[in-house]
């Protein structure tokens, strides 16, 4: 039953992220609650713990990228719902594979759409600017914000790049549950 909920969650979230650049709460929150309730009914207190720890891990693995401005709150809530359905171990694995898939998608986007200096500007915009924002928010050192602002002023009309992160999350989650890496990664 939870596999059906997981597939529905991923497919619907990819659709909304591609079409609207937003993952609605009306999709993620009910599935998150379903996951916690499902595991509680199946395994009582152990199931409740399994689901809630999965939610917490799903929140924590994407908290820093969210704070840095590298992803939206919907992406974080999607990972929390995945955590409710899969538990903490598969959530960590899903997040790891999602990060790899997201990096490859970003790199592919840069290679296919830019060349030379434009590629470096695109790479900076996708990777470095969120890191600078995170460092500023984490440390309060204004120099990080100054560097990011100077870049924003120098980029001359380019727009922020957007990667619908529901796609890497879906790829990462499907890889994690596929069992392909079961013999390689045991924790």
For 7-41, the pLDDT digits (tens) are 999 999 999 998 999 999 999 999 999 999 999 99
Write the CB contacts of 133 (distance below 8 Å, at least 6 apart in sequence): 67, 68, 69, 144, 145, 148
pLDDT at 80 over 90: yes
Is 185 inside any structural domain?
no
Among positive and negative, which fits the CA dihedral 51, 57, 60, 66? negative
Which tokens is 6 given? Answer: 């997981």
Is 183 inside any structural domain?
no
Q: Is the pTM of this model over 0.85?
A: no
Domain count, the chain: 1
Tell me how crowded residue 44 is: count the other CB atoms within 10 A of its CB: 10
pLDDT bucket at 52, cuts 50 / 70 / 90: very high
Is 167 inside any structural domain?
yes
What value does the mean pLDDT of the chain take? 83
Write the CB contacts of 65 (distance below 8 Å, at least 6 apart in sequence): 71, 130
Is 138 inside any structural domain?
yes
Domain encompassing residue 56 = 2-178
Is 184 inside any structural domain?
no
Is 159 inside any structural domain?
yes
Is 186 inside any structural domain?
no
Cα separation of 86 and 172, whole Å?
13
């Amino acid at each position: 039953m939870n596999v059906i909920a997981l597939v529905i969650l991923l497919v619907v979230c990819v659709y909304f992220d591609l079409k609207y650049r937003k993952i609605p709460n009306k999709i993620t929150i009910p599935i998150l609650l379903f996951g916690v309730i499902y595991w509680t009914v199946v395994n009582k207190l152990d199931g409740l713990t399994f689901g809630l720890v999965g939610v917490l891990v799903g929140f924590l693995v994407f908290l820093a990228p969210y704070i840095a401005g590298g992803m939206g709150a919907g992406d974080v809530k999607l990972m929390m719902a995945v955590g409710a359905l899969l538990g903490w171990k598969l959530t960590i694995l899903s997040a790891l594979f999602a990060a790899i898939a997201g990096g490859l998608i970003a790199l592919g986007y840069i290679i296919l759409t830019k060349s030379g200096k434009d590629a470096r500007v695109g790479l900076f915009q996708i990777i470095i600017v969120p890191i600078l924002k995170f460092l500023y928010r984490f440390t309060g050192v204004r120099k990080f914000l100054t560097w990011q602002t100077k870049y924003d002023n120098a980029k001359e009309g380019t727009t922020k790049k957007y990667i619908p992160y529901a796609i890497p999350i879906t790829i990462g989650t499907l890889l994690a549950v596929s069992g392909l890496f079961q013999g390689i990664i045991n924790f």
